[in-house]
Amino acid sequence: MIKHVFISNKHLDGFQKGGVLALVAFICIETIMECSPCEGLYFFEFVSCSALVVTGVLLLMFSLNLHTRIPQINWNLTDLVNTGLSTFFFFIASVVLAALNHKTGAEIAAVIFGFLAMAVYAVNTYLAIKKWRMNSRQQNSRQTSDYIRARTESREVDHRPEIQRLDA
Q: Do 16 and 93 touch, CB atoms closer than 8 A?
A: no
At 152 the pLDDT is 59
At 5 the pLDDT is 44
At 118 the pLDDT is 94
At 39 the pLDDT is 86
Comparing CA positions, the residue from 10, 5, 21, 16 lying closest to residue 127 is 10
At 137 the pLDDT is 75
Comparing CA positions, the residue from 25, 5, 1 lying closest to residue 119 is 25
pLDDT above 60 (res 165): no
Cα 86 to Cα 48: distance, rounded to the nearest angstrom: 9
Residue with more model confidence, 146 or 77: 77
pTM: 0.69
